[in-house]
Structure 1
Amino acid sequence: MMAGGALPQALVLLLVVIGATTAAPAAGVPLAHNEDEDLDTAQLLRKYGYPVEEHFVTTADGYILRMFRVPSSPKASGGSGFPILVMHGLLASSADWVIMGPGKGFAYVLADAGFDVWMGNSRGNVYSRNHTTINPDDDSFWQFSWHEMGDYDLPAMIDYVLAETGQSDIFYAGHSQGTTSFYVMASLHPEYNDKIRVMFSLAPVAYMNHMTSPLLQFISLFVDQLEFLAGLIGMNEFLPNSELMQLVGDIMCQDGAFTQDICSNVIFLLGGYNEAELNTTMLPVIMAHTPAGSSSKQLIHYGQEIRSGHFRQYDHGMIGNTLEYGSISPPDYDLSKVTAKVVLHYSNNDWCAGVKDVDRLYEELPNCIGRFLVAEDSFSHLDFMWAIHAKELVYDKVVALMNQYL
């Protein structure tokens, strides 16, 4: 798609060309390949000795969402067994909480601390590309943004976890889009605030006035044209996960490939550069699982937020807004209705969640009980998932706070 996809897809093609001509191994030398590239979330957990369950949740509008549960951990000593729902960010999936392995991935850290870990997958990613009546290859399947994730997906998953566990509330942790959709849900369905014991926002994204990501800046500059072109040519699915990305990872990103730095820079294009916290050996595994797919409208909606300076619903244009909302502009999400306890975890080098935007969010949330700046100045947006020291810098703090609220 030209919408939002032109820049990253051009970079991917560049990687393939360079990899084929300069970084490929000599004839007869096999590509280095980590078997974790081929394993999904459940298979990764089983490989490393963790029990896992797969669950399917159907939303009120018919989307079928796949969830993974780690009900206990072989390393857990005691622990409450209290449930937590963990939601990924844009173009990501549940795999991002486990691909770094035991002792590193957030899901493992939570399970080892004795919590009942539920990992959600939002509509349209590789695990939730399903619907009760609509073929995911049809354009009609992709007519959603992160608004619908907050309006439909999160309520369905939260209610499912509560029903399965018999609890009256749960912990919630979201990264990036996983925070955005939470604020949407809690403002549109304020009754769900009582179902959340504490919400942990990792790299919180609501306001985006000070966002500096080159990819999202590009989208915001041409958001109207991109939306029109996406609709015109019917390219409503953005960067679906594919064997191409795995091939690029194997050729370009493995240790010893001189193009490994290019691989790193493509990943940093979205969320900020932090070479010190990136385990480059894991780049092929990361690229085999991410991007995990999304709708074009998810990125376009973020582009609209950047341009407008508002945290508000999808902008359908003057006529569309009048028909949809009864006003020429989309309504803002009312953050005063987000009464759940919220803890913000943010960093100085985050190109998507700027410090000033997080400060503004903090001022508008009525029950923000904590605001924690990551101690490492270079910590970036994607480091909340993949950083070498994410456990020490972020996850241990989250676990300690969870234990205080049991």
Structure 2
Amino acid sequence: MNFQIIQTITFYFFIWVLKPIANVGLSLTYYSAYIAIYLTDYVLSLFVRECESRNPTIFHNLRKVLNKLKPYSGVYTQATDIILAQGYNFESHKVITEDGYILTMWRIYKDGTHPHPHPIILQHGLLDSSWSWFINNDKKLTLPYILAEQGYDVWLANNRGNKYSIGHTKFQSVNYNQQYWDCSFDDLAKYDFKAIVLYVKNITQRAKVIYLGHSQGTTQAFAYLSNNIEFQNHLKCFIGLGPAMFISNLRSTFLQWAIKLYIFEIIYYLGIPYFFVFDDGFNIKIGALCYMIPLIFRNFFFEITNQLCGFPQKNKIDLTRFGNMVAHEPGGCATKNIVQWMQFFRSKQLQYFDYGATQNQALYGQRDPPPYPVDNLKNFTIPKYFYLGTKDVITDTDDLGKMLNKLDQTHMKVEFIDDYAHLDYVWAVDAHVKLYPSILRNIKENQN
């Protein structure tokens, strides 16, 4: 049987069978937990004399139950409504890439004057989304809010295939379209980075933008600029959190085993199109269960996060809000993108997608995929600022050193953040003390 037929069968089996079964199973758990909690609460209240006196009417009791059905702050609320509730101006923009993908960008600002000359783009990392920057949702702790408070025009990007950027100009339905999900890191680098930067410039009518990337957000910029170094003229400065050009020293135990066992490759070649792209209802139920049964659900999903990204022993994540976090995260991506990251690790270089010797020969004219020409980044001369946590298991000092050797170092600063892991740059409750003041200084220096 043709292997492509097997992939197609698996693709539709995943879409029409596995996903619905997972949704049904999660829904049963969710509603069973709710019923158990309310019944327990009612029975216990019978023995508490100080409890609220009951109105015997059925409508009053029904209203009390309905008012309790959504008790967890932020879980049932749209991410965009959570931002709007903070009192900032908010806009949602659609960006069309050259190959027809529809990306979503969020724009927030305090008023309409935009006194600073350069808007700021925040680009998320792998499996992430624009919501990641709002995890703490506090004006004092959240980088977009801090920037908006200082009068900056803040733009938050979403790469193709995450939960906020699912759409295409040619495909009416993308969830059931194999072509749509046939996108790799190469596409993020070739199309998404360029489209995002040029769109912000066009809408704001500004000459340059400040680009701040986290993890893969830096990688796709490096890859595009290595082929188009003159594009740096659109950027005022470049800020990288946990920058990743090379990941040859990846220290996540889970990912090391996943690489050895070719787990993501198996998922991809079987035809499962995406990874961690959940429906809103699915995320909401997980978030609520993290509050209802934290001993099981919060610990389980937090451990998954630990295994993927790694945290120091004394992590800086506010676990009391973890249900809120997973109600909107992760953003997810195409499986093919993750496979390419596994290839980065094995090859110890930033290279194009490896399709195998035969297809590589047809696409690239050689058996092995070519590396991105990162030596061209010696001409990447705009101011650059990099931050690396000492507990980061995705990027480390050796890979950082290898990356820095590929870059022009005339206008470059590197800062190490003690005891920071790969998500702490964005999620840590002390980032507003340990990290963001330095970022703000660097941004201010480049607003002339």
Question: Which runs of structure 2 are paired with 1:220-299 in the superposition (5 Å)?
Answer: 220-223=259-262, 226-227=264-265, 229-232=267-270, 234-242=271-279, 243-253=281-291, 257=295, 260-274=298-312, 275-299=314-338
Query: Which residue of structure 2 aligns with residue 126 of structure 1?
Result: 163
- Mapped to 2, the partners of 1:256 and 1:177 lie a distance apart of 31
Which blocks of at least 5 consecutive residues in structure 1 are unaligned?
Answer: none
- Mapped to 2, the partners of 1:354 and 1:31 lie a distance apart of 45
- Mapped to 2, the partners of 1:182 and 1:337 lie a distance apart of 13
Alignment equivalent of 1:57, drawn from 86, 95, 115: 95
Q: Aligned pair in 2 of structure 1 residues 106, 373: CA closer, same or farther (>3 Å)?
A: same
Q: Do residues 345 (structure 1) and 387 (structure 2) align?
A: yes
Query: Which residue of structure 1 aligns with residue 438 of structure 2?
Result: 397
Query: Which residue of structure 2 aligns with residue 161 of structure 1?
Result: 200
Which blocks of at least 5 consecutive residues in structure 2 are unaligned?
Answer: 1-6, 42-67
Question: Which runs of structure 2 are paired with 1:335-374 in the superposition (5 Å)?
Answer: 335-338=374-377, 339=380, 340-367=382-409, 369-374=412-417
- Mapped to 2, the partners of 1:204 and 1:46 lie a distance apart of 30
Q: Aligned pair in 2 of structure 1 residues 392, 288: CA closer, same or farther (>3 Å)?
A: same
Q: How many residues align?
A: 393
Alignment equivalent of 1:388, drawn from 429, 432, 440: 429
Give 3-state SS (helix, strand or coil) of 1:111's partner.
Answer: helix
- Mapped to 2, the partners of 1:349 and 1:187 lie a distance apart of 28
- Mapped to 2, the partners of 1:254 and 1:182 lie a distance apart of 41
The one-letter amino acid paired with 1:237 is Y
Q: Aligned pair in 2 of structure 1 residues 41, 107: CA closer, same or farther (>3 Å)?
A: farther
Provide the TM-score with structure 1 as the length reference.
0.88
- Mapped to 2, the partners of 1:254 and 1:372 lie a distance apart of 40
Q: Which deviates further from its counterpart, 267-276 or 134-143?
A: 267-276
Larger Rg: 2
Q: Aligned pair in 2 of structure 1 residues 127, 245: CA closer, same or farther (>3 Å)?
A: closer
Q: Do residues 38 (structure 1) and 79 (structure 2) align?
A: no
The alpha-carbon deviation at position 315 of structure 1 amounts to 0.9
- Mapped to 1, the partners of 2:93 and 2:297 lie a distance apart of 39
Q: Deviations over 1:190-242 (max 9, x none)?
A: 2211111111111111211111123432332233x74355233x211112123
Q: Do residues 315 (structure 1) and 354 (structure 2) align?
A: yes
Q: Which deviates further from its counterpart, 125-134 or 93-102?
A: 93-102
- Mapped to 1, the partners of 2:169 and 2:86 lie a distance apart of 33
Identity %: 25
Provide the TM-score with structure 2 as the length reference.
0.80
Query: Which residue of structure 2 aligns with residue 332 of structure 1?
Result: 371
Q: Which deviates further from its counterpart, 350-359 or 117-126?
A: 350-359
Give 3-state SS (helix, strand or coil) of 2:315's partner.
Answer: helix
- Mapped to 1, the partners of 2:430 and 2:293 lie a distance apart of 20
